[in-house]
Amino acid sequence: MRTFIISLMLLWTAAVNAETEQYIPLQCFPLNPFLQNFKEMYSEELVFMSGSVNAKQEELFHQLWMNPSSQTWTFMVTNKPREMVCVIASGQGFADLREIGI
């Protein structure tokens, strides 16, 4: 029975990992006009940025912007060579976990 359960778990794991690439629709914009309008509209400030490269070896910057007053946040990625920015997610409402020691 134990061998049967382990076999089922392995098959389930293989099935889950079979589709690792997903299509996620993103809204992308020319970098400079977007950032100017974005900052004016939401008054969010950059609080986190990390670099990486894509499969084409293009330099990317992942960024988290936040406005504590309005509680808005935006996560985006910038493709520097193409001078494009894509919004991955945005929303309103967050908790500052530093206040509780996390």
Give the residue from 71, 72, 100, 85 showing the smallest Cα distance to 36: 85
Q: pTM surpassing 0.75?
A: no
Say if CB 6 and CB 13 are below 8 A apart: no
Q: Which residues pair with 79 in a beta bridge?
A: 60, 84
* pLDDT, tens digit (0-9, with 9 covering 90-100), for 37-64: 999 999 999 999 999 999 999 999 999 9
Confidence band (pLDDT; 50, 70, 90) for 24? confident
User: d(Cα 96, Cα 98) in Å, to the nearest integer?
Assistant: 5
Per-residue DSSP letter, 82: T
Say if CB 65 and CB 43 are below 8 A apart: no
* pLDDT, tens digit (0-9, with 9 covering 90-100), for 55-97: 999 999 999 999 999 999 999 999 999 999 999 999 999 887 7
- Hey, where are the domains in the chain? 26-93
